[in-house]
A and B are shown apart, each in its own frame.
Chain A
């Protein structure tokens, strides 16, 4: 199931793996607060590091977050 083309993706995923990570539900619950912190120009990643970590790893949640930022920007 694994070939050379997969190595980089899988090893990168392992390198970013932490013992403790939040799931998609918790990320979604906190995403609105995270977006407002970032939108205000403050450092959301420092304020909510576990949300930042999840957004880096989960493409689905990251996509929703980017869309939310655009919607917030629309007023």
Chain B
């Protein structure tokens, strides 16, 4: 594959004969995806080729959004990685419903006290727990509560939670950020700073 500057990539892909540049870009992205996602437990070759085809479409349709702040090939790999990981994650979580996740949690009642904790730590944790429960109930919206549980507590990918809540990843991150800020502020207002709470949990 011939080395190209960013300008050469753009000129060839926009020009009348883009096939050689497209072919080189295809090879480059397949190699990149194999390195990132391959291996015994990784994505299959056929999947990787599909992801690269889809990424090439996105790349060639969005050349104007490349701002030249990195190498063109790094930008292209970023887009290919986004296509691949979004799809792989969608498949991995396809059987999980947000409602089931939330319902299971309500019914479960998990989390016993750490046997290593001192009676003082257990009492402090119980007090923090009660405060947090009260603040969550009183100040978070239903959507914020759902997002906090699914993303922060259950570790479900934010893009997958967003899809199920009818929004997008960026908007859900912002909703979660607002929820975290609100909780932090309200906890501090009752004299509980997160850093002090962590120090108290870890002490002993």
Contact = CB atoms under 8 A, between A and B. Distances in A.
Contact of B74 (A2, A13, A32): A32
A45 interface: no
A64 B71 CA distance: 17
Interface in B87-133: 89, 105-106, 108-113, 125-126, 128-129, 132-133
A28 B158 contact: no
Interface in A1-28: 1-15, 17, 19, 21, 23-25, 28
A41 interface: no
A1 B104 CA distance: 10
B117 to A, nearest CB: 10
B173 A71 contact: no
Contacts of B78: 28, 31-32, 35, 64, 68
B195 A2 contact: no
Interface band, chain B: 35 or more
B80 interface: yes
Given A3-B109, A75-B31, A12 B198 contact: yes
Given A14-B180, A14-B194, A7 B85 contact: no
B25 interface: no
Interface of A: 1-15, 17, 19, 21, 23-25, 28, 30-33, 35-36, 58-60, 63-64, 67-68, 70-75
Interface of B: 31-37, 69-71, 74-75, 77-78, 80-82, 84-85, 89, 105-106, 108-113, 125-126, 128-129, 132-133, 136, 145, 148-149, 152-153, 155, 157-159, 169-170, 173-174, 177, 180-181, 183-184, 187, 194-195, 197-198, 201
